[in-house]
Amino acid sequence: MKDREIMGGFRTINPATEETIKEYQYMTKKEASKAVEDCHHAFLDWKTKSVDARASIIKKIGEVLMERREEFAKLMTQEMGKVVKHGFQEIKLCAGICEYTATTGIKELEDEERELPNGDKGMITYSPVGVIYGIQPWNFPCYQAVRYAIASLAAGNGVLLKHAECCTGSALLLQEIMEQAGLPKNLFKVLLINNDQSNEVIANTYVRGVTFTGSLGSGKIIAQEAAKHAKKTVLELGSNDAYIVLEDADIAMAAETCVQGRIYNNGEVCIAAKRFVVVESVYEEFKEKFIAGMNEVEYGDPTNRDTAMGPLARKDLREKLHDQVTKSVDKGAEILLGGKMPNAKGFFYPATILGNVQPGQPAYEEEFFGPVASLIKAKDQEDAMRIANDSRFGLGGGIFSENIEKAVELAKNHFDTGMVFINSASDNQPNMPFGGVKDSGYGREHGGFGIKEFVNVKSIMPIK
């Protein structure tokens, strides 16, 4: 972006104050190539370490993260505008990922024996493959990197990170923390590179896999680049998650939960509640409570622990969000709350609700990455599920109903998403898989699944 560009590099900008934080220079082609090579050489030693030795360091990474959580949380707030209390929650989640991976997830790498038809036995091993390259967004500066890096490191791989430019300081702090915890130097390496250099990294012989979180358009380009070199990818490409409110739901609880699900992390969450599909019989009751709840949400100084919502991470992101709102209204949507661009310093945007949301509007078709909710009326349960699945995305979704058995049946057999949350807002748990279907991407992280995404599943037989 032009407001961030400098000669040969870029600057980071505080989205609450619009002031420059720091300037960085891109690596030269030679420096980037050497960083990849250094990571590969570090991997050659790391892969020989025992699983227990790796786990010990990964556990320590989580401990150091907690020791430096205040520093990290404040930096994330400064770089991308999340309210500081959400930064503390993010660090705690990352520490939990380290703990889970080091104690439980690592067990996924244990050798397996299987009986062969002739009476012999075969062995299956899960071997590291090499350097894994991650391209990550800005909305969770620590978590997005930790989510793939810890699993890859546990598997015995090396890790490269191209983070979003606006949270470069967070990326470098994470690298420092990992090395402080005892991770060998260069095994986790931050790359300060542009998109053309990124394609060269993908093509590098030492890189054996690529993982990306971000937009569908960018994900397709990255997948195509990796496919040119027959390299595996894992993609998490966002969504416009639908949260269904059925007639037997606790409406007050549902409305309160949906407010938090929409404005958490300033509404900049891939798996956040975005479309609210409410059956006709309880629509007006939910609408009234939802508007009242969203109306109480005020944005402000994200460093204040009492602030509910901070600014969007960048100026262009706010402009895009407002453009989506405007185009939706032009096509028939109704502004029930908010929807006005603030005329003040900082990239703030008010909690907003759009009604009369119909197919063909951005509010129905697209992902809104900010505190804008799409309220949709459904005739009944069947119609609500149809609307929820009427999307090219399929990351997550939610169901509000006091009949848990029914909600589970709908989630299991009818919701076309990778994750479903019952009577709750979206949540990430270290022991549960994370990922989507359709245009939300493919592959899984967390829950022991991510640790096997980039390994060589090797058959050895016969053994006696």
Query: What's the rounded Cα separation, in Å, for the pair 24 and 12?
Result: 8
| Residue 445 among the catalytic residues | no
Q: What is the rounded (10 degree) CA torsion for 311, 314, 316, 321?
A: -40
Which of 236, 367, 445, 453 is the catalytic position?
Answer: 236
Query: What's the rounded Cα separation, in Å, for the pair 440 and 93?
Result: 23
Which of 79, 142, 270, 366 is the catalytic position?
Answer: 270
**Closest by CA position to 142, among listed 111, 177, 107:** 177
Give SS3 for 394: coil
User: What is the 8-class DSSP label of residue 434?
Assistant: B
Q: CB-based contacts of 409: which residues, under 8 Å, 6+ apart?
A: none
Q: What is the rounded (10 degree) CA torsion for 15, 210, 457, 206?
A: -120
| Residue 270 among the catalytic residues | yes
**Closest by CA position to 99, among listed 23, 181, 213, 199:** 181
Q: CB-based contacts of 234: which residues, under 8 Å, 6+ apart?
A: 148, 209, 210, 211, 212, 435, 441, 442, 443, 444, 445, 453, 454
Angle at 284 between CA 283 and CA 286, to 5 degrees: 65
**Closest by CA position to 210, among listed 10, 381, 443:** 443
Active-site residues, by number, are: 236, 270
